[in-house]
Amino acid sequence: MSARKCWSCGHEHAAAEVICPACGKVQPPPPAETALDKFALLGFAPSFDEPEAVDDKFRTLSRKLHPDRFVRAPAQERRYSLEQTTLLNDAYKTLKDPVRRAEHLLSLRGVRGDPKMSPQFLEETMEDREKLLEAKMSGNGVEELARGVREKRDSTLAEVRALVARGGDLAQAAELLARMRYYARYLDEVEGRTAEI
């Protein structure tokens, strides 16, 4: 585990610690060019599954880092508090969402960038969209289409899980996760939500 020194007291501590254990000062976030392990930020080992007690860890760290606690602190520490809180919120959202969590897990294993989608899948997505548009216009069959896409989403996630667990083709896992983003957008459209992915 890498270590760093506190900007305030010089105490050496684990790089993942956001608050210096010696003086209690909020530490600066890692440099932007450094790959951030969102699991480590919340104190967990990388895993395909949502870590147990992630909500509790998040709330505990949020209370410690919240900018309101540092209104009288020096400007530098207030800035660190805000930056660390932003990173913490993003890490929490990532660990709570199965697709984002799996994408992050793959990125920690060196798989980055948008994968190339197969022409067959792209054709399938166009057909799905056309069917959805027709169903919406007729007011009939939207839920049945959504159920089919939910089934595809769930089986695709299971396939990604199996690939990651057995150390299979991670590039293939990345393509499957890209499909998951499509399924999420499709279901958001069906349910009238704004897509987050």
For the chain, domain boundaries: 3-96, 119-191
Of the options 1.10.287.110, 3.30.70.100, 2.102.10.10, 3.40.50.1100, the CATH number for the domain spanning 3-96: 1.10.287.110
92: nearest Cα among 62, 119, 116 = 62
Contact 10, 68 (CB under 8 A): no
Give me the pLDDT at residue 1, please.
53
Give me the pLDDT at residue 197, please.
45
Tokens 């990651």 map to which residue?
Answer: 164
Tokens 């930056």 map to which residue?
Answer: 83
pTM: 0.79
Q: What is the DSSP letter of 5?
A: E
Mark the ranges of the chain whose per-residue pLDDT is less than 50.
197
Give me the pLDDT at residue 81, please.
95
Angle separating helix axes 98-108 and 75-96, nearest 10 degrees: 110
Question: What is d(CA 100, CA 84) in angstroms, rounded to the nearest whole number?
Answer: 20
